[in-house]
Amino acid sequence: MNAYIYTDRYFAFDYGITHPLKIERLKLTFELSRAYGLFNGSDISLIETVEAKEDELLIFHTRDYLEVLKQASSGRLRHSYAYGIGPGDNPAFPGLWEWSLLHTGASIRCAELVLGGGVQIAFNIAGGLHHAMPDRASGFCYINDPVICILKLLKEAERVLYLDIDAHHGDGVQWAFYEEPRVLTISFHQDGRTLFPGTGSVEEMGRGRGRGYAINIPMLPGTDNRVFLKGFHEIVPELFERFRPDVVVTQLGVDSFKDDPLAGLCLGTEGFLEVIRFLKRNTNYWIALGGGGYNSWNVARAWTLAWAIMTGVELSDEIPEEISSKLDKMGIRERELKDKEEINTSKDAHIRYMERVISYIEKEIIPLI
């Protein structure tokens, strides 16, 4: 059984007209998947999102911080820079508290469904807000739903593997489990010297009992599918074999795609879907979360293609007419479900850099697991 967690209630909220994170991208994703009939199978459950309870957030976030979020959400607070709230990345907008409860509640539901044993794959496209810290908003993220999801899993699971392929380093999740050997975090991302949040060097490998259980694969701007997949296939299968996770949690951000406005990587659907196919073959229980992606069509087509693989459906390249009409209204000209041509942007420098990263991980980190 596979489960997809979703609600139209997400669209009561808005970060602001100039903010790059458009919650409407989730609606386009859902509608594209529905147009392809991806919720019709007898082994598929489409489940309405339910808000998280405040006590469930306190497993990671501080009470003072949650009070600040509630004040910002209700208009009683325009900014609180000590908590990361203010103009820019993390604005105080009406309903931000309710939005946070919804996307986090969906991730908690994914954990409950998988732990219950009846669901093998659960997908929360609204989740994956991986930058939030216990007492601070960061990088468009107010509540760290991946961390809360993993903490929920650890009540019953012995080992959880977290794989993050967003262009931005999964810093909030890494730091939450930096000393925890029951959680192996793996993050592929654009080198932090060139992109927010500035962390995720290969030398960040965990601390104390968790030393060796944080894996970072930074990539130079301009890295394409070929170099990304070289790193993935030379590192990730061995990590799966050594760690043997009970549950895999993935953050499937697609701001790594070549035309995303907020990052400089040059990946595309071929590289992304190779990761999804690997996960489908090698996971018994899998929670998939959304993440970054600031080109709405990239988000919709990538996560629809991912859900198709999760549910074992082969999609036609022809976009359903109802979606073509919607794209016209949105001013989106692209009509390709998959990239038609291989993106070749990597140079020798990209390959050499990835080879150095692979070598360091193989020699210095993997033996610690």
Q: For residue 291, is it left (φ>0), alpha (ψ between -120 and 50) or beta?
A: left
Q: Is residue 130 annotated as a catalytic residue, yes or no?
A: no
For residues 243-276, one letter each, b for 16 or more C-beta atoms within 10 angstroms of the residue's C-beta and e for the rest, the string is bebbbbbbbbbbbbbbebebbbbbbbbbbbbebb
d(C-alpha 325, C-alpha 14), whole Å: 24
The type of residue at 73 is S
Instruction: Say if residues 343 and 266 touch (Cβ distance below 8 Å).
Output: yes
Q: Exposed, middle or buried: residue 314 (CB in 10 Å: 0-12, 13-18, 19+)? A: exposed
Backbone angles phi, psi at 103, to 5 degrees: -65, -30
Return the bridge partners of 280, or none: none
Q: How many CB atoms lie within 10 A of CB 44?
A: 17
d(C-alpha 78, C-alpha 71), whole Å: 9
Instruction: Say if residues 219 and 258 touch (Cβ distance below 8 Å).
Output: no
Catalytic one of 130, 131, 168, 169: 131
Q: What angle do the packed helices 145-153 and 96-115 form, to 10 degrees?
A: 30
d(C-alpha 78, C-alpha 113), whole Å: 37
Half-sphere exposure of 2 (CA within 13 A, CB side): 23
Residue 81 gets which letter from DSSP? G
Closest to 285 measured CA to CA, from 86, 149, 190: 149
d(C-alpha 295, C-alpha 299), whole Å: 7
Work out the end-to-end distance of the chain between its first and last CA atoms, rounded to an integer number of angstroms. Answer: 32
Could you tell me the two tokens for 22?
């458009």
Catalytic residues: 131
